[in-house]
Structure 1
Amino acid sequence: MAHNQPHCNQAPKLILIIEDNEDFSEILTTILQRETAYYPLLATTGRQATTMMNHLQPDLLLIDYILPDIDGLTLYEHVRAQERIPTILMSAIPHVFLEVPHHEQLVSLEKPFAFQVLMQHIHQLLAA
């Protein structure tokens, strides 16, 4: 059952998806729009995400590790130096997670993953 409506007078949580793979980002965005009360926005580069974050305050970041202009871990560390935003770092390359620091509000997720696993991590991070 879809949960498109936020609870009474509560704005939907904003999830900024930073993913350059058009097919994958479309799937993520569509599923989040149809199946949750969250509001997904898409950036396809680190630069675009940084610009968007100057004007928006996302509640959660979904960052792909391999982006055209910066790696996802560097982008996460840049954002984390300024503010603490819960983040899910996604990659199809398992060894990149060896470099990922252990932070309370950072989750590493290997592609491909089940939507239910992603949602579990999103709910946990947004509840913290």
Structure 2
Amino acid sequence: MTKRILIIDDEQDIRETTQMCLEIAGEWEVLTAVSGKEGLVKAAAEQPDVILLDVMMPDMDGLTTLQNLQKNPQTKNIPVILLTAKAQAAEQRQFTQLKIAAVITKPYDPFTLSDQVLQALVDRSV
């Protein structure tokens, strides 16, 4: 069974690199969205197995997008992994307060990204 992942990130290079890593290394079916608003629509319509969500985006940031995903009955049970350059201890503590599956810090290792996503899903189901 193919796993489906939705990448929500405003940076085209990040989306493309992440998509390639997940398709090649993890055999994921990858959906992408360029904004929080587009991501909300795609998440509800496509029902991916997991969402990889950038924290810093214009218009609607990742945390606002996360809140909207969690408020929507159609998307509230989809695991969300935050993808962020924010690696400060205070920010990491803030992220642990959220109902998320994991945090992956940019820059990430493209060769282990698929494994990190799978591990987050395993840890979440335990």
Instruction: Give the shorter-chain TM-score range.
Output: 0.7 to 0.9
1:33-76 Cα shifts (integer Å, max 9, x gaps): 12222111110100101111231101101000111221111211
Match of 1:124 among 104, 119, 125: 119
Report which structure shows greater RCO (CA 8 Å, sep ≥6): 2
Q: Does the 8 Å contact 1:73/1:100 carry over to 2?
A: no
Once the two structures are overlaid, the 10-residue window that deviates more, 105-114 or 25-34, is 105-114
Q: Does the 8 Å contact 1:92/1:111 carry over to 2?
A: yes
Q: Does the 8 Å contact 2:10/2:34 carry over to 1?
A: yes
The one-letter amino acid of 2:77's match is: R
Q: What's the counterpart of residue 67 of structure 2?
A: 77
Identity value in percent: 28
Distance 1:85 1:115 in 2: 23
Runs of at least 5 residues in structure 2 that lack an aligned partner in the other structure: none
Is the aligned partner of 1:15 residue 2:10? no
Distance 1:75 1:103 in 2: 12
Distance 1:103 1:88 in 2: 11
Q: Does the 8 Å contact 1:46/1:75 carry over to 2?
A: yes
1:66-120 Cα shifts (integer Å, max 9, x gaps): 1122111121122123312111101112244343243564211221121344323
Q: TM-score, normalised by structure 1?
A: 0.79
Q: TM-score, normalised by structure 2?
A: 0.81
Is the aligned partner of 1:93 residue 2:86? yes
Q: SS of the residue aligned with 1:67?
A: coil
Once the two structures are overlaid, the 10-residue window that deviates more, 68-77 or 91-100, is 91-100
Runs of at least 5 residues in structure 1 that lack an aligned partner in the other structure: 1-9
Match of 1:107 among 77, 102, 113: 102
Q: SS of the residue aligned with 1:99?
A: helix
